[in-house]
Structure 1
Amino acid sequence: MPVTTVSAAVHITPVVVRTFFSHGKKKAKKLKDGSQEEEATDDVFFNQAFHIVKAFIDMGTKNTVESLQSFTNTHVPAPYWAAVAAVLIPLSTCNRAADVLIDWFGPLELKQVVGGERWWQVRGLDGIDAEWVTQAQYLNSNPSPSDHDRKLSTAEETVLKMDHLNRVMLYVHGGGYFWGSINTHRYQIIRYARKIRGRVFAVNYRKAPQYPWPCPLHDVIAAYMYLIEPPPGAMHTAVPPNQIVFAGDSAGGALCLTALTVIRDMGVPLPAGAVLISPWVDLTHSFPSVMNHTETDIIPEFGFLAKPSVLWPVDPIPPEGGRVTPAKSSPPPEPGHSDTLKPTVSRAADDAVKDMAGESEERVQSQAEMLEGDTPQSGRSKISKAADSHASSEVPGDKVEDEEYDVDRWEPKPPKVRMKDDDAIPLEMHSQIQLYAMTEQLTHPLVSPILQGSLGNLPPLYILAGDKEVLRDEIMYLAHRAANPGQFPTRKGVIRDGRRQKENAEKFTTPTKVHLQVYDGMCHVLTVFSFSESAKYAYRAIAEFVKHVTDNPEQELKQTPFPELGRSPSAVSVHTAGATENPLPASGTSSHARLAALPTPRSDESSTADLELYEANKKTLVEEVNERISLPAAEPLSDASGKPSRHVEVRMIRERVDVRGRVRAMEPKEEIDVLKIPPSEVGLIKEEPTLRWLKGQELWDKRYKRAATNAVKQRQKLEAKAKRMLEHARDEGLLLANERPAMPRQQSMASTRSQRTTDGEVQPERRWGPLDLDDEQPPPSAIAKRRDTPEALALLKKCIYHTAPVTHQTIPKRKVMDAVRAAFDPHDNPVKAPKQSVSEQQTYANIIPMHGLRIWDSLVSYFARKSSRKAINGTKQAAAAVKEAGEQLQGVLVPDTESNGSKPQP
C-alpha cells in the first residue's frame, strides 16, 4: 500500500496504543525505583509524538521512494492566520546560480566528479517552486504601488503587502535530501515568521534520487540570488544580504551550510547569519553516535531504505557477488572510477585489455599491508604516530611527512571501507548507499560539509542538536571546527585532492562565531515537536538570534554576534494586550520603528513564558561567561538591564539545554570524546555502519524480491516506450542544434501524417534538455539522462513538445496516435505537458480533504494545549511542595499557552 493518509493511520494507530500502555509501565517503574531523573519521554505527549514520527518514517522505508515523495509533497493549504504567496524562481536566476557553481567546480572537477555541467541544470518546471510566508496581520494594507500595468494576481499582491518586512529567513526544509517539502514544514515556517516578526522565503528544491547532488545545492543558491537580485517581474524589492538569515533542518541545514561556503568562496555577499537545526553534514557516517543512538532517534536503524521501484535502488537486484564484497584491488580507485557503479564503456575496455595483457592487479593485500606497504608487522605504531601527529596540527596548512603518513593508504577513498581489524582485507561497496550522491562522491566537501577545507569566515551560526540523535557527534564536531579552524583541520587527503579546499584552508582562517546548543533527551530535529518545553525555548532563541543579526550593524555584530550577550529581547517581542489594529508608520520612519509598530497576533499577547525563560537563560549565560573570562566584579559583561557594559569577544557559546528548556554550560572540550577523534578518521566510510546498512538492504532484497524483479521488467518496457517517443519526434521534425533539416518532401509528408496537439515553445532561458547530455555522465539515478522511469519520460516529453531548451531548433508535431495513447495514460496528457516528478512538482489531494500533514498539525496543537495545562498543574504542585518544605522557589516557568485558541496555531 502506498503512503497515504489512510495507510499512515493504519500503520500508526497500533503504535499509539502500544506507546500509551508502555508509557504507563515506564512511569510506574520510575516511581517504584524512586528515580528523580527527568527525561523528555516522561511527557506522554512527547512520547506519543516521538513514536508517531518514528513509525511514519519507518513506514516510508517499506514503500517506494516515489510514494513517500508524493505524500510529503502534497499541497497543504495555509491556515487563515497566515499569508502565503507562491512564486516561481525563474530560469534566468537559476542560470546565474549555475554559473556560480560552474566557476566553483572548474572544468576538471565538473567532468571527473560531478559528471558534467549540463545535466544538473535540466529541470522539468520552468523554475523553482517557492513561497513567501508571514503572519496575515503583518501585511501592509496600503503597499507601494506596482510598476506593472497589468492586473496583479492575489499572490503578487500578497508579496507586495509583505515587502515592508525587513527581516527575511530563507528556509530550506529537511527530509534526507529526498523527501519532505514546504508542505511538511509549513506550520513550522509560519511559526518562524510570527516569532521573528518578519517573513520567510521557503524553497521547494529538487530532490534526489531523481535530481541528486548538486541539484538541491543549485536551487538553494538560486533562491538566495532571487532574494538579493530580483529578476524582472519579481514583486519584492532586493533584500540586502544583512537582512537575510539562512535556516534549515537536517538535510536543509547542511544545504544552508554548503551554500554559505560556496557564497563565501565566490565572493558573493554573505547573509547575516544561519540557523542549523540537526544538520546532516557527514554522509559517510564516520562518527560514533550514528551507531549508538538508533534506539533514541527517529531515524531508521538501517537508514533510508526503500521498496524497489523503477526509480530506486539503482540496482533493484543485487549485483553478482553481492552489494558489499572484499576488495578486488589494493590501490584506491581513481576519481570517478569507484568500483561501485556501472563502469563506463571506455573503462570496461581498458580493464579487458589489462586482463588480456596479464596486467591485472596483484594479490589483494590486507588493510595493514595496504596501510604500511612492505612492512605490515610495524604498521600499527607508524599509523598511530601519523594519525596523532596529524590530529595535533594547529594550523590547517601543517602537513605530516609523506614517509610517515601515506594519504592514499590511510584515508581510503570510496568504495573502500575502513576496517576495524587491520589484518582484514578491506571491503568494497558495489551499490549506492545514499540517495543524495554516488558512493564515490560522499567525501566531497559539497556533499559532506564536515570535510570543508575551512569553515572559517562565515557569518554567525546558531547550531542546535538533540543529545539523543544519531547525528549528535558530527554536529558537535562541526560547531567546534567552525569556531576553531586551527584546532580541527581537515584531513590531509581532502586538502591534497581538492584545489579549492587547499586554498580555503590557507585563506579562511578567521574563526566563525558559533552558538552550539545540545538538548537533553531530544531526537533529530527537535523543532518538529513544537509543543515541548525544549522546542518552545528553541523557537524563541532562534527568533532572537534572527532579530539580533539582522537589526544590528556589522561592526557591532563582529564584537557581539550573540543576542544573549548583547541587548535584551527586542521591544517588538513584548506588546500590550489588545494591540491588533496598529497602523503602520509612514515609509519615512526607521525600519526598527516600523517593525515595533507591527500588530501582534493574539496568540502572543498572553504568552510571555518563552520570553521569561529566554531572559532566565540569558542571565545564566552571562554569569557563566563573566566567570569564564574572569572579569572583575566591578566590570561585568552586562549591566542589570542586559545592556553590554563593555565589549569582550566571545568566539563560541557552548550550552546544554534540559527538558524544561533551561540552559547550563557544556562540559570542557577535553571531556568530549568526539572532539578527540583524529581528523584522519573523519569522513571515511567505516566497517560498522557499512555492515549495518548491508544487513538492512539484504533484508529488503529478500522481502521485496518480487517487486525488484517487476521493477527491472518495467524499466525495459519504459525504455522501449522512450525509444518509440524519440523515433516519432524525429519523424515529426525534431531538430537539435547543428542538425540539418530533413528534405522538403520528407517534411511535407510528415506534416500530412500528423496534427498539432500541443503549442510548444523554445525557451531562451532553458539552456539544456535531456537530449543534450550525450557526452556527460550523470549519476545513474538522475532522470535527466534516464529513459526507464515514468518521470524521466515526462521530463523528456515536456522538453520535446512543450518547453524546449535553446538547443532545439524545432518543436515537433505530435502524432494523433500518440495523443490518443496519452489520453488513456494517467501519467500523461494529450494536450498539456505531463506532470513532472514528485521530487520537484507538488501534488494535490483530490479524494480526502484532510491530508495527513494537516492531521499532524492538529495533533501538535492538541499536544500543546494538553502539555500547557499539565505544566500549569505541575507548576502549582511544585510550588506547594517547595513551600511546604520551606525552600525558596526560583525560576518557576509558566507554560507557553499560545496554542490554546479555538483554532489550531502553528
Structure 2
Amino acid sequence: MANFVKLVVPKTPLLISTTIKHYLNGPPKPSWNLKNHLAMIMLKSILENTESQTIEEMQIGSARPVPVLAGMMANEIKINNKYRYEAQAHLEKILKPYEHVLDTEWKDLKEDGIISEWVQVPNDEWEKREIRKTILYLHGGAYYLCSKGSHRNITCSFAKKANARVLIIDYRLAPQNQFPAGLQDALAAYLYLLNPPKDAGFEPLNPKNIVIFGDSAGGGLSMALALAIRDAGLPSCAGIIGWSPWVDLTVSMPSMLDEECCDYIPKPSKSFIHKESQVEIEYKEKAAALTAKIKKQNIGPKIWHDSFDRPEGRIQMYAPNEGLAIPYVSPMLAESLGGLPPLLLVAGDSERLRDEAIYLAHRSAEPAKYKGPSYNAGKFEKSPFQAPTNTTLEVYEEMPHVFQMFDHPCTTKSYERTVEFINKVTNAINEPLPPSSFSCINTKGEFGPLKEYHKEIQKWENIGIVPSIKRELKIKTTRRSPSELLVYTVLLFAVFAYLSPINL
C-alpha cells in the first residue's frame, strides 16, 4: 500500500482535473467509466516520467508478487537445469542460421534451475482426470520486467475459470540475459511438462492437454515458443493464446505511430529515459561490442534490413538490431506461420500493438497469401510448413493494450472467450473449433467483421522495416527506444491491483 500511495499521491492534481474533464467533456472513449479514465491518464503520465528510476529499480518493483486470490493456492517449484540443457540442444539446431548475430552468453547458466509456480484450486483432483488441462503461462513486461508473482490475478483466475492448473515461470529477463535465454527457459518448461521428474507429483502430460498463453511480450514469447516447438519437431501443444501479443520488435506497423491512438503506451516519438545504472552501462558495452563484432567479421548471411542500423545503438534490449528479424524474436516476420496449433489472438482496437496482431493472424490463417517482409522474399516457398493455421482473431472496440486488466464488459467477454477456446482445443467440451475467423467485438459484446481500416493493414508494404523516428536527447540520461515503452506496462498491474481487481 505504501508504494501505491507513493505512486498516486503526486498525481492527485492530475486525477482531480481528469475527473472534472470526465464529467464536463466526457471520457476519451464512450464506454470508459471514470475508473477506466483515471487509470489510463495516470498510467500514461507515469510512462512519460520514468527518468527517476534505474532498470534495476524497475525490475525489483515490477517483480513484487500480488497476493494469491481467495480460494486459490500457489506452490513454488524449481525446474531442474537438465531441461534447459535439453532445450539448448533443440535451439542450437534451429538457431544455426542466426548464430553469427547472437551472443553465446545465453548458454552460460548462472542459476541452478527455473523458479516457477503452480497455481490451482485446492483439492482439484487434477491428477486423476482423463484430460488434465494445463496452461503454461508466460508473463508480459517487454522481456525485462515482471515475474510469476506479478501476474497472479490472471493465473489464479484462469486456474479457476478454466478448471485447469497453471504453470508460470520466472524466465530470464533482459538486459542481463539476451535472446534466446527467455525462449530457452520457456521451452525447458514445456519439456518439463512432457517428461517431468519422478518427484514432480504428476505423470507426463499429453501435449494436447497443454495450452501456451501469454500477454504482451509473453504473448510474443508464446508465439516464439510455438514456432520453436514446430521447427524442432517436438510434439505440438493444444493451442496458443496471445493477449496483445508483441510479435514485431521492428515496430514497423502503422498503429505504433498512429497519432490518434488512444492507449496508455505513448507514441514512439516520445523518448523514455532511465536513471543510468551499472546494469545499463554493462548491457550497452556488451551490445556495442557484439554489433562491432558482427560488422567486422561479416560471417554468415545478412539477415537484417538496412533500416535496422542505428548509430545511437540498440532498438531493443532483448536482442541485437541484427537479430530483430529472427522469427523467434519477431514471430510476425517468420518465413511461415503455417502448421501451428490453433491460435487465439486478442487485441484492443485502440492499442499500439493492434496491427501486428491483425497481420500475424492473417499470415497464420493464410500463409500462402501473406508472406512477410520484402527482404524475406522466396523463403516461404522453401518452408515445409505451408498448411494454414486455425486462427481466431478478436479485436475489441475502444480497448487499450492488455485491456483485460480493466474493469470493463470487454474484459468479461474476453475472459469468457478465452476459457471457451481453452476448453475446445483441449477437448474438455465436445465441440469442434470453428474455422479461422477475424472479428471486431463492440463494447456490448456483439461480434462483427473487421473494420475497413483493419483490412488496410493487410496491404501494408513496410512490414518488418524499422521506421525513421526523430527523438529528443536529454543530457546525462539514457534514452529508451520506442518499443521499450512497453516495459512500463508492468505499472498497470500495480495500479489495477487496487483500482479494478479481477473477480473470480
TM bracket (short chain):
0.7 to 0.9
**Conservation of the 8 A alpha-carbon contact between 2:43 and 2:492:** no
Structure 1 pair 261/853, CA: closer, same or farther in 2 (3 Å)? Answer: closer
- What amino acid does structure 1 have at the position aligned with 2:415? Y
Separation (CA, whole Å) in 1 of partners of 2:400 and 2:144: 20
Question: CA offset at residue 451 of structure 1?
Answer: 0.9
Fraction of identical pairs, as percent: 29
Structure 1 pair 24/88, CA: closer, same or farther in 2 (3 Å)? Answer: same
Question: CA offset at residue 53 of structure 1?
Answer: 3.3
Question: CA offset at residue 308 of structure 1?
Answer: 1.7
**1:135 counterpart residue number:** 121
**2:410 counterpart residue number:** 534
**2:392 counterpart residue number:** 515
Q: Which runs of 5+ in 1 are unaligned?
A: 31-36, 141-159, 318-335, 351-406, 417-427, 497-501, 563-649, 709-838, 840-850, 862-898, 900-904
Give CA-to-partner distance per residue, 1:137-171, whole Å, 9 cap, x none: x534xxxxxxxxxxxxxxxxxxx879887111111
**2:343 counterpart residue number:** 461
Question: CA offset at residue 66 of structure 1?
Answer: 0.7
When the two structures are superposed, what TM-score results if normalisation uses the length of structure 1? 0.50
Superposition RMSD in Å: 3.3
* SS, match of residue 239 in structure 1: coil
Separation (CA, whole Å) in 1 of partners of 2:295 and 2:386: 42
- What amino acid does structure 1 have at the position aligned with 2:413? Y
Give CA-to-partner distance per residue, 1:108-139, whole Å, 9 cap, x none: 632x12133xx203343311111111223x53
Question: CA offset at residue 266 of structure 1?
Answer: 1.1
* SS, match of residue 224 in structure 1: helix
Separation (CA, whole Å) in 2 of partners of 1:451 and 1:215: 20
Separation (CA, whole Å) in 2 of partners of 1:654 and 1:545: 15
Structure 1 pair 854/464, CA: closer, same or farther in 2 (3 Å)? Answer: closer
**2:68 counterpart residue number:** 78
Separation (CA, whole Å) in 1 of partners of 2:358 and 2:168: 26
**1:544 counterpart residue number:** 420
Asked whether 1:178 is paired with 2:144, we answer yes
Residue number among 430, 433, 437 corresponding to 1:653 in the alignment? 437
- What amino acid does structure 2 have at the position aligned with 1:114? L
**Conservation of the 8 A alpha-carbon contact between 2:341 and 2:389:** yes
**1:24 counterpart residue number:** 23
**Conservation of the 8 A alpha-carbon contact between 2:144 and 2:175:** yes
Structure 1 pair 163/200, CA: closer, same or farther in 2 (3 Å)? Answer: farther
Question: CA offset at residue 178 of structure 1?
Answer: 1.0
Q: Which runs of 5+ in 2 are unaligned?
A: 479-486
Give CA-to-partner distance per residue, 1:209-228, whole Å, 9 cap, x none: 11121111111111111111
Separation (CA, whole Å) in 2 of partners of 1:129 and 1:75: 13
**Conservation of the 8 A alpha-carbon contact between 1:173 and 1:249:** yes
Question: CA offset at residue 251 of structure 1?
Answer: 0.4
Give CA-to-partner distance per residue, 1:554-602, whole Å, 9 cap, x none: xx98xx423xxxxxxxxxxxxxxxxxxxxxxxxxxxxxxxxxxxxxxxx
Separation (CA, whole Å) in 2 of partners of 1:234 and 1:492: 47
Residue number among 94, 100, 113 corresponding to 1:104 in the alignment? 94
Residue number among 89, 113, 116 corresponding to 2:101 in the alignment? 113
Question: CA offset at residue 233 of structure 1?
Answer: 2.5
Question: CA offset at residue 306 of structure 1?
Answer: 2.3
**1:672 counterpart residue number:** 455
**1:361 counterpart residue number:** none
Separation (CA, whole Å) in 2 of partners of 1:217 and 1:285: 20
Asked whether 1:90 is paired with 2:80, we answer yes
Residue number among 115, 125, 130 corresponding to 2:111 in the alignment? 125
Give CA-to-partner distance per residue, 1:88-126, whole Å, 9 cap, x none: 1111111111111011122x632x12133xx20334331
Residue number among 170, 175, 180 corresponding to 1:214 in the alignment? 180
Residue number among 268, 274, 278 corresponding to 1:306 in the alignment? 274
Separation (CA, whole Å) in 1 of partners of 2:495 and 2:349: 28
**Conservation of the 8 A alpha-carbon contact between 2:314 and 2:320:** yes
What is the aligned residue count?
Answer: 488
* Bigger relative CO (Cα 8 Å, ≥ 6 apart): 2
Give CA-to-partner distance per residue, 1:582-623, whole Å, 9 cap, x none: xxxxxxxxxxxxxxxxxxxxxxxxxxxxxxxxxxxxxxxxxx
**Conservation of the 8 A alpha-carbon contact between 1:340 and 1:439:** no
Question: CA offset at residue 346 of structure 1?
Answer: 10
Give CA-to-partner distance per residue, 1:301-328, whole Å, 9 cap, x none: 33664222111266889xxxxxxxxxxx
More strand by share: 2
Question: CA offset at residue 64 of structure 1?
Answer: 1.1
Structure 1 pair 68/60, CA: closer, same or farther in 2 (3 Å)? Answer: farther
- What amino acid does structure 2 have at the position aligned with 1:190? C
Asked whether 1:525 is paired with 2:402, we answer yes
Structure 1 pair 295/487, CA: closer, same or farther in 2 (3 Å)? Answer: closer
Separation (CA, whole Å) in 2 of partners of 1:683 and 1:115: 22
- What amino acid does structure 2 have at the position aligned with 1:545? F
Structure 1 pair 291/139, CA: closer, same or farther in 2 (3 Å)? Answer: same
**Conservation of the 8 A alpha-carbon contact between 2:261 and 2:351:** no
Question: CA offset at residue 242 of structure 1?
Answer: 0.4
Q: Which has the larger radius of gyration?
A: 1
**Conservation of the 8 A alpha-carbon contact between 2:65 and 2:150:** no
